Amino acid sequence: MAPQNVARKLIASHLLEGEMIPGQEIGLRIDQTLTQDATGTLVMLELEAMGLERAATEVSVQYVDHNLLQTDFKNPDDHLFLQAICQRFGIWYSRPGNGVSHAVHMERFGRPGRSLAGSDSHTPAAGSMGMLAFGAGGLDVAFAIAGEPLYLRMPKILGVELVGALPPWVSAKDLVLEMLRRHDVKGCRGMIVEYFGDGLAGLTAMDRHVIANMGTELGATTTVFPSDEQVRRFLRLQRREQDWVELIADAGCDYDLVERIELPALEPLIACPSSPGNVVRVREVEGRPIYQSYIGSSANPGLRDFWIAAEIVKGLRAHERVSLDINPTSRALIENLARLGSFQQLIAAGARFHQAGCNGCIGMGQAPATHQISLRTVPRNFPGRSGTKEDLVYLVSPETAAASALAGAITDPRDLEKLYGLSCPRFAEPEDQAINHDLIAPAPSAGIAERFERGPNIKALPLFAPLVDDAEVPVLLKMDDDISTDEILMAGARALPFRSNIPAISQYAFFAIDETFAARAHVAKEQHGGHVVIAGDNYGQGSSREHAALAPRYLGQIAVIARSYARIAWQNLANFGILALTFVDPADYDWIEQGDQFAFSDLRERVAAGGVIVVRNLTQRRDVRCAHQLSERQVRAVLAGGLINQFRQQRGV
Ligand code: MIC
């Protein structure tokens, strides 16, 4: 057999359907799943709708990390619901305050060589330890929990050779920002990014987590690292060395595409507002006054990341104008910071400690002041995601965040030597680390069948009609390129409490773009039976949240016509029976106007046939030639009005 890279080995060992030919649909066996509260309540409701008895995976874990604010009954009701239903389905439950799913999963459950599907777009972080990990919509994860394959298009493998070692003051975040500088937010779509080369030796498993986590921002299907001595060491520190297996690329293997990063040549980088792909050198934006420096999230979750910030501010004070916000990853991390003295150093420097979780990363607290600069170590800075509409969020490494907190302005951490006589601290990872899993409840071995209460904000999934055959519907919105899921269905404290209530959350569909959207959609549904929206390239980049498909669907969305799509968003549209079309001639995008009336005819037959679907623009009296890229499996789901309908039909439910 020809020498194989790590990604292809992982796929081959999980392949249930299809062939490993780039672009073809493949079905993969999923060993583990991860859900979090903001997407997990829906997953559980979906499992109920599917009539699941018990999870069929090796391990499935439900985390509560996204919404920890208990401002009224809704959120605690969600938590109780999740806890009870996990018992019933045989799913582990990580309670509020335990920590961020991605890092905790890696510490407690991750196993090299296994596959993982998670209803969170940053699930690929587990690729840091040689796992095959995918972010997916909740329904895809629900099917994986039920033992069904996860379907995706076979990606190309992009091999990235890392050469040499990172220089002082430059860390893993700068490395992934360099990838974003090169590829922007859509350059790695349809690819698995696999890192190799001698530079790997200097990157710990947690450093790799930073890089794999933000592969999502590159648009990559996932990121893969080998399982080598660094991964073995990580598992040893977690007292799970027995779970380690070696998984490395064969000598002489090749990749579909290859590139190289000289690590010694990297310098501190920063993603400017409001896209993770807007990367420049820190030097280019130095001196801008900052309001906030925010350290934490799944994009810098490691002990080293907090430790280095603490070492930088040790014995000094954050600038009086700066809010230095520390968002610890987990309870174990807090204990470890305390053991190392880092906790005290940060407090003494004026830091504000928040509870372990996602917090401000998903707009649940710590919103910055209007038009003020917030430096964050989080993975994304889409417009308004922080909770402040006119935010100015920059993405940085912990070194840059800490240096800037001291100076009160964007500062290249290499200047710390000159400013404070500080030489770059070197982290010696302690062998004896605290392990704290007190707040994880194991999956019971037998189901508990009793009925349990669910709060009034938890609503059953709405039922949807099959795809229509003929329709005359308005274009309710015309959007630009790179529309993020945050813009389709906002993150943050306003909408998040309604994640388990589709009728209520639908009021926020496209709210960030046009506050009148939901009201207009209701009218269009009543008068015309629905609506369509138009978008440019990379529609739906960012999160895996299927609410970004479900809420518009609830409001009557029949189709999206876009130049191109982000992978998970595209899959979510099909799962819920919205037709995702592309322009045969992308220039057609230019002349369509919001408010135009579109006529679809014989739609079901045309969708089933594949090929060109002609849509009549009645207002402009011109045709728009469209196409879809759905597989036969997805066509069946779309015709049925969504995967759940199809599943019910098959099972006679
Ligand atoms: C995100 O980073 O956008 C989130 C919040 O983690 C989402 C999940 C969600 O919307 O609940 C993601 O990345 O999938």
Q: CA–CA separation, 535 vs 538, rounded Å?
A: 8
Q: What average pLDDT score do residues 86-110 get?
A: 97
Our CA angle for 305, 545, 525, nearest 5°, is 155
Name the β-bridge partners of 192: 157, 222
Contact 479, 534 (CB under 8 A): yes
Instruction: Return the amino acid letter for 214.
Output: M
pLDDT at 294 over 80: yes
- Residue 1 is predicted with a pLDDT of 84
Q: What average pLDDT score do residues 599-605 get?
A: 97
- Residue 51 is predicted with a pLDDT of 86
Contact 151, 137 (CB under 8 A): no
User: Which tens digits make up the pLDDT trace of 339-354?
Assistant: 999 999 999 999 999 9
Q: Which residue has the higher pLDDT, 438 or 435?
A: 435
Instruction: Choose the weakest-confidence range: 22-31, 154-163, 431-440, 496-505.
Output: 431-440
Tokens linked to 367? 């919103």
Question: What are the backbone dihedrals phi and psi of residue 153, each rounded to the nearest 5 degrees, phi first?
Answer: -85, 135
pTM for the full predicted model: 0.97
- Does ligand 1 come within 6 angstroms of the Cβ of 122? yes
- Does ligand 1 come within 6 angstroms of the Cβ of 38? yes
**What's the gap in Å between 544 CA and the centre of ligand 1?**
6
Nearest to 569 by CA among 539, 594, 589: 539
Q: What average pLDDT score do residues 388-399 get?
A: 97
- Does ligand 1 come within 6 angstroms of the Cβ of 102? no
Instruction: Choose the weakest-confidence range: 83-87, 306-310, 621-625.
Output: 83-87
Nearest to 111 by CA among 213, 290, 241: 241
Distance set, CA 1 to CA 4, 172, 214, 641 (Å): 8, 34, 33, 43
**Ligand 1 atom 6, closest CA:** 120
Give the confidence band of 625 by pLDDT, cuts at 50, 70, 90.
very high
Tell me how far apart the 2 most distant CA atoms of the chain are, in Å: 73
**What's the gap in Å between 361 CA and the centre of ligand 1?**
9
- Does ligand 1 come within 6 angstroms of the Cβ of 491? yes
Nearest to 34 by CA among 129, 177, 184, 144: 144
- Residue 628 is predicted with a pLDDT of 98
Contact 628, 571 (CB under 8 A): no
- Does ligand 1 come within 6 angstroms of the Cβ of 149? no
Can you tell me which atom of ligand 1 is nearest the CA of 36? 11
User: Which tens digits make up the pLDDT trace of 182-198?
Assistant: 999 999 999 999 999 99
Q: What average pLDDT score do residues 429-436 get?
A: 94
Instruction: Choose the weakest-confidence range: 47-51, 488-492, 497-501, 606-610.
Output: 47-51
Contact 6, 130 (CB under 8 A): yes
pLDDT at 528 over 60: yes
**Ligand 1 atom 5, closest CA:** 362
**What's the gap in Å between 545 CA and the centre of ligand 1?**
6
For tokens 């770059």, what's the residue?
A: 424
- Does ligand 1 come within 6 angstroms of the Cβ of 542? yes
- Residue 449 is predicted with a pLDDT of 54
Contact 42, 419 (CB under 8 A): no
Reported ipTM: the value is: 0.96
Q: What average pLDDT score do residues 249-274 get?
A: 98
Q: Which helix (H) or strand (E) holds 635?
A: helix 632-640
**Whole-number average pLDDT of the chain:** 97
Tokens linked to 440? 């994880």
Percent of all residues in the chain with a pLDDT value above 90, rounded to a whole number? 95
Q: What average pLDDT score do residues 415-421 get?
A: 97
Length of the chain: 653
Q: CA–CA separation, 507 vs 110, rounded Å?
A: 38
pLDDT at 358 over 70: yes
- Does ligand 1 come within 6 angstroms of the Cβ of 121? yes
Q: CA–CA separation, 399 vs 309, rounded Å?
A: 6
Choosing from 120, 218, 487 the residue with most ligand 1 atoms within 8 A of its CB, the one to mutate for a pocket test is 120
Q: What average pLDDT score do residues 99-106 get?
A: 98
Can you tell me which atom of ligand 1 is nearest the CA of 135? 14
Choosing from 544, 550, 568 the residue with most ligand 1 atoms within 8 A of its CB, the one to mutate for a pocket test is 544
Distance set, CA 84 to CA 22, 79, 443 (Å): 41, 9, 11
**Ligand 1 atom 7, closest CA:** 543
Q: Is 162 exposed, middle or buried (0-12, 13-18, 19+ CB in 10 A)?
A: buried
- Does ligand 1 come within 6 angstroms of the Cβ of 66? yes
Q: What average pLDDT score do residues 238-260 get?
A: 98
Contact 109, 19 (CB under 8 A): no
Give the confidence band of 295 by pLDDT, cuts at 50, 70, 90.
very high
Tokens linked to 35? 């859900």
User: Which tens digits make up the pLDDT trace of 177-186?
Assistant: 999 999 999 9
**Ligand 1 atom 11, closest CA:** 38
Tokens linked to 574? 């099909």
pLDDT at 653 over 80: no
Is residue 267 helix, strand or coil? coil
10 Å Cβ neighbour count for 39? 25
- Residue 447 is predicted with a pLDDT of 64
- Does ligand 1 come within 6 angstroms of the Cβ of 381? no
Contact 190, 221 (CB under 8 A): yes
- Residue 448 is predicted with a pLDDT of 64
- Does ligand 1 come within 6 angstroms of the Cβ of 547? no
Give the confidence band of 371 by pLDDT, cuts at 50, 70, 90.
very high
For the chain, the first-to-last Cα distance in angstroms comes to 46
Q: Which residue has the higher pLDDT, 437 or 330?
A: 330
> Are β-strands 440-441 and 471-478 bridged in parallel, bridged antiparallel, or unpaired?
unpaired
10 Å Cβ neighbour count for 261? 18
Q: Which helix (H) or strand (E) holds 583?
A: strand 579-583
Q: CA–CA separation, 280 vs 271, rounded Å?
A: 6
